[in-house]
């Protein structure tokens, strides 16, 4: 479903992604870990089409199409979703109104009928309950004054409503209390299925106890330097990143 | 791929859909300004002697004045001698009813979305339609008069209610007030008059729709609204003009008087022709609007959405004389292309425990320049006065400007004055966030801007708020590459 090949990207004059290859098949969950500044969020934003990031090499195919050739909103309409590490606030714009507009523009793109305010509200409430998002947040302006944890839940809530085909979750677990973490994980798990793929960016093995990944990748300095199964996350938790970095630097030894 | 910055810089070449010209015969005085022109205007309108004298006093005063240059706007000198000061669509005879209004005029207002046909109108809004220098029709007059509400053209008020006009005309904005108000006092042609008697709540919104049609003509209308004790009125004002290459002057005066416990809510959606994307043409909108909260516990609210005009220069103000009186100013001003706006308010606290609120939202796109200029003045006797001001500016693209000039004068130690200001660039991260959810760049921008203006829009009457949001979105429409 997603095939990233030798992807390179820079921001301003700094090369950040230095050749990343990653294949996500339908039904798979890939965890991406790695030290701060290694390029995890950059990868997410390049997949979503952020214009600050210039792709300097490689390719990304999504459902057989050239993803890099598409506008961000078209990628979204094709089912790409990014849960942001730092969700922005949009003052004065109601969360409900925003999300209904989003859902309807996606539905329109797909030739589906748009939802009216009542049907949408019903759907929104159901999904809010699913991720245990306080319903009162639906009426508030998007992320404005939300607590850190509420912002993250709001991202997962949006994902649940928009039902993407490929979801990239960028540190959605950071800043969540234990109950919130479970709620978010339950939300994600309830959406796992044979047609949907996930890339879960995280620093913590703890999340991966709840959302059990099929693969774990370690990103370092713009490259994936190690990939493995879910055990790799445990090993990282125990030993940190240094040993892999050394291993990657001296493949011979 | 087009970046949001390019897109924002491009928010420009939008069609002004009110730019058509009505081909109609008009009566006008020859261009230029002198005593004879003023006498002629007064004679055409069959005005009483006192009014002509008042006009001439104003004219004499005006000759000694110079055009103000302190607003942060740039424009070539206005040639007051090349302008036509009076133009009216030719009327064949005295009109008895709407059926006799020239069908071309009715059609013009229909095209503007203002149906003057009472049967077809949504109930709840009475309209006075002003075309160039004269009022062509006022709807729902009979229904309003059953309640004692007077709502008619200014000329008619001078004829039918001279005592009221004489008592209040110039009582808030004296003829000597400022260059443009003084000019208006000398040459004003028509406008709306409204009187709400004691204890009456107007059951419908009253509104005036101003349309400039004739070329080279200045529009100088005057509006006077008096709310007697314990009364309430909500008043709406809308305006458009054809697209013309030369600049046209609009110098209006609006005076509001609220007596004890009365409330006036005055809303404007100003959409005069702003000029083209190169800054050619457009209306110079130099307007004096002021309300006097003369009675205790009275309240005046100004709400304005300013998207049009090449240059806007206006400061709807409140003189808070009555104890416990309240003044409010809610404003959205959008400038794009080469538009310039210098707008804000004055809140003058005179009575005890007077309160004022100022919420100003400036949006600049293209090469637009947007200034907020506001004065909060607390007089010595204004015990316990309070003001809250919030001025937010949003910049779109990197060639526009936003400026804030708050003036605060406090002469009473018990005053509480709070001022908050912010300037933000429309966030590319906000736009990206919305696009990532499937929303197009244009819709994203319009959503963010409407959110930014929310506190002002919610002050507008429902139908007007919807109009205002649409207008803002249309004004921001650019060609997406
Ligand atoms: N817009 C930008 N301008 C300049 N540098 C940037 C920009 N975006 C990212 N970078 C730099 O690129 C590098 C990778 O950033 P990125 O956000 O992808 O890291 P990350 O792996 O997500 O880190 P973290 O775990 O801290 O979230 C960092 O050094 C960061 O400073
Ligand atoms: Mg990150």
Residues B337 and B198: their CA atoms lie apart, in Å, by 47
pLDDT the model gives residue B227: 97
Q: Which of B429, B443, B455 sits opposite A101 (nearest CB)?
A: B443
Q: Are B237 and B464 in contact (CB under 8 A)?
A: no
Q: Is the pLDDT of residue B478 over 70?
A: no
Q: Do B438 and A88 touch (CB under 8 A)?
A: no
A contacts of B453 (beta carbons < 8 Å): 92
B contacts of A99 (beta carbons < 8 Å): 437
Mutate to test the interface with B, among A51, A106, A110 (most CBs of B within 10 A): A51
Q: Do B438 and A82 touch (CB under 8 A)?
A: no
Q: Which of A75, A93, A103 sits opposite B451 (nearest CB)?
A: A93
Q: C-alpha angle A182/A187/A192, rounded to 5°?
A: 120
Q: Which of B72-76, B174-178, B249-253, B467-471 has the highest mean pLDDT?
A: B174-178
Question: Ramachandran region of residue A165, left (φ > 0), alpha (ψ -120 to 50) or beta?
Answer: alpha
pLDDT the model gives residue B133: 55
Terminal-to-terminal C-alpha distance of chain A: 36
**How many whole angstroms from B196 Cα to the centroid of ligand 2?**
62
Q: Which of B428, B434, B451 sits opposite A141 (nearest CB)?
A: B451
Mean pLDDT of A233-253: 79
Q: How many CB atoms lie within 10 A of CB A74?
A: 17
The 3-class secondary structure across B362-396, one letter per residue, is EEECCCCEEEEEEEEEECCCCCCCEEEEEEEEEEC
Rounded to a whole number of angstroms, the distance from the CA of B270 to the nearest CA of chain A is 23
- H helical segments located in A110-241: 117-130, 148-162, 178-191, 205-210, 231-239
pLDDT the model gives residue B142: 77
Residues B232 and B397: their CA atoms lie apart, in Å, by 42
Q: Which of B437, B440, B454 sits opposite A162 (nearest CB)?
A: B437
Q: Poorest-confidence range of A76-90, A180-194, B417-431?
A: B417-431
Residue-wise pLDDT for B247-283, tens only, equals 677 888 999 999 999 999 998 887 777 777 776 777 7
What residues does ligand 1 touch, defined as CB less than 6 Å away?
A: A 11-12, 14, 16, 34, 36-42, 52, 85
Residue A13 burial class via C-beta count within 10 angstroms: exposed 0-12, middle 13-18, buried 19 and up: exposed
Residue-wise pLDDT for A20-74, tens only, equals 999 999 999 999 999 999 999 999 999 999 999 999 999 999 999 999 999 999 9
pLDDT the model gives residue B10: 44
- Residue A217 pairs in a beta bridge with A32, A227
**How many whole angstroms from B398 Cα to the centroid of ligand 1?**
25
B contacts of A91 (beta carbons < 8 Å): 451-452, 454
Q: Do A76 and B436 touch (CB under 8 A)?
A: yes
Query: Which atom of ligand 1 approaches the CA of A44 most closely?
Result: 18
Rounded to a whole number of angstroms, the distance from the CA of A218 to the nearest CA of chain B is 26
Q: Does A158 touch chain B (CB under 8 A)?
A: yes
Q: Are A167 and A201 in contact (CB under 8 A)?
A: no
pLDDT the model gives residue A251: 67
List the structure tokens of A230: 């879910």
Query: Which atom of ligand 1 approaches the CA of A52 most closely?
Result: 1
Nearest CA in chain B to A158: B437
Q: Poorest-confidence range of A96-105, B112-121, B211-220, B224-233?
A: B112-121
Query: Which atom of ligand 1 approaches the CA of A42 most closely?
Result: 18
Q: Is the pLDDT of residue B311 over 70?
A: yes
Give Cβ neighbours of residue A109 (< 8 Å, ≥ 6 apart).
A74, A77, B438
Residues B463 and B409: their CA atoms lie apart, in Å, by 38
Q: Helix or strand or coil: residue B316?
A: coil
pLDDT the model gives residue A238: 85
Up-side HSE of residue A252: CA atoms within 13 Å toward CB? 0
**How many whole angstroms from B326 Cα to the centroid of ligand 1?**
51
Chain B interface with A: residues with Cβ < 8 Å: 1, 3-4, 427-430, 432-441, 443, 447-448, 450-455
Mean pLDDT of A221-243: 89
Q: Does A144 touch chain B (CB under 8 A)?
A: no
Question: Ramachandran region of residue B32, left (φ > 0), alpha (ψ -120 to 50) or beta?
Answer: left
Nearest to B58 by CA among B167, B153, B180: B180
Q: Are A227 and A233 in contact (CB under 8 A)?
A: no
B229: confidence class by pLDDT, cuts 50, 70, 90: very high
**How many whole angstroms from A39 Cα to the centroid of ligand 2?**
7
Q: Poorest-confidence range of B3-7, B135-139, B218-222, B282-286?
A: B3-7
């Amino acid at each position: 479903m997603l095939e990233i090949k030798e992807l390179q990207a820079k921001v301003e004059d700094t090369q950040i992604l230095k050749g990343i290859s990653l294949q996500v098949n339908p039904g798979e969950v890939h965890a991406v870990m790695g030290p701060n500044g290694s390029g995890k969020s950059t990868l997410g934003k390049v997949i979503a089409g952020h214009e600050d990031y210039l792709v300097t090499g490689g390719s990304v195919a999504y459902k057989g199409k050239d993803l890099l050739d598409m506008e961000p909103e078209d990628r979204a309409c094709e089912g790409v979703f990014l849960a942001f590490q730092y969700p922005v606030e949009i003052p004065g714009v109601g969360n409900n109104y925003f999300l209904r507009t989003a859902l309807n523009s996606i539905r329109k793109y797909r030739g589906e009928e748009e939802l009216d305010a009542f049907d949408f509200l019903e759907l929104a409430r159901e999904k809010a309950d699913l991720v245990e998002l306080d319903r009162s947040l639906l009426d508030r302006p998007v992320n404005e004054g939300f607590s850190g944890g509420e912002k993250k839940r709001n991202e997962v809530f949006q994902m649940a409503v928009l039902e993407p085909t490929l979801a990239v979750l960028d540190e959605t677990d950071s800043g969540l209390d234990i109950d919130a973490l479970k709620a978010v994980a339950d939300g994600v798990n309830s959406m796992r299925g044979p047609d949907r793929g996930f890339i879960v960016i995280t620093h913590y093995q703890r999340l991966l106890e709840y959302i059990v990944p099929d693969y774990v990748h370690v990103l370092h300095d713009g490259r994936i330097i190690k990939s493995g199964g879910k055990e790799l996350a445990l090993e990282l938790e125990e030993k940190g990143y240094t040993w892999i970095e050394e291993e990657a630097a001296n493949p011979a030894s | 791929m087009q970046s949001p910055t390019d897109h924002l810089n491009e928010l420009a070449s939008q069609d002004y859909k009110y730019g058509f010209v009505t081909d109609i015969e008009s009566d006008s005085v020859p261009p230029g300004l002198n005593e004879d022109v003023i006498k002629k205007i007064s004679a055409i309108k069959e005005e009483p002697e006192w009014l002509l004298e008042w006009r001439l006093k104003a004219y004499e005063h005006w000759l000694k004045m110079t055009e103000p240059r302190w607003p942060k706007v740039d424009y070539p000198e206005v040639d007051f001698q090349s302008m036509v000061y009076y133009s009216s669509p030719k009327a064949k005879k005295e009109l008895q009813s709407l059926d006799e209004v020239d069908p071309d005029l009715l059609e013009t207002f229909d095209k503007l979305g203002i149906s003057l046909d009472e049967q077809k109108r949504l109930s709840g809004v009475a309209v006075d339609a002003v075309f160039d220098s004269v009022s062509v029709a006022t709807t729902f007059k009979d229904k309003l008069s059953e309640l004692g509400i007077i709502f008619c053209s200014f000329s008619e008020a001078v004829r039918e209610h001279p005592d009221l006009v004489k008592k209040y005309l110039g009582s808030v904005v004296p003829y000597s007030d400022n260059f443009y108000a003084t000019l208006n006092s000398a040459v004003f042609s028509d406008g709306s008059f409204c009187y709400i008697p004691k204890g009456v709540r107007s059951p419908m919104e009253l509104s005036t729709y101003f349309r400039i049609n004739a070329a080279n003509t200045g529009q100088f209308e005057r509006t006077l609204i008096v709310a007697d004790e314990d009364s309430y009125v909500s008043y709406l004002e809308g305006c458009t003009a054809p697209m013309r290459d030369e600049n046209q002057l609009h110098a209006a005066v609006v005076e509001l008087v609220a007596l004890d416990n009365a409330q006036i809510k005055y809303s404007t959606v100003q959409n005069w022709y702003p000029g083209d994307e190169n800054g050619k043409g457009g209306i110079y909108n130099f307007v004096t609007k002021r309300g006097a909260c003369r009675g205790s516990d009275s309240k005046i609210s100004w709400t304005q959405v300013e998207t049009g005009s090449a240059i806007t220069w206006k400061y709807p103000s409140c003189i808070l004389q009555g104890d416990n009186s309240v003044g409010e100013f809610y404003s959205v001003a959008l400038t794009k292309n080469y538009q310039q706006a210098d707008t804000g308010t004055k809140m003058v606290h005179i009575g005890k425990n007077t309160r004022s609120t100022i919420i100003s939202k400036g949006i600049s796109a293209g090469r637009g320049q947007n200034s907020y200029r506001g004065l909060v003045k607390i007089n010595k006797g204004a015990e316990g006065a309070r003001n809250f001001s919030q001025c937010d500016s949003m910049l779109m693209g990197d060639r526009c400007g936003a400026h804030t000039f708050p003036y605060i004068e406090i002469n009473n130690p018990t005053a509480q004055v709070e001022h908050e200001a912010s300037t933000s660039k429309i966030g590319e991260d906000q736009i990206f966030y919305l696009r990532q959810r499937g929303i197009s760049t244009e819709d994203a921008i319009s959503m963010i801007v409407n959110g930014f203006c929310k506190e002002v829009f919610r002050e507008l009457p429902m139908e007007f708020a919807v109009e205002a949001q649409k207008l803002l979105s249309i004004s921001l429409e650019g060609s997406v590459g």
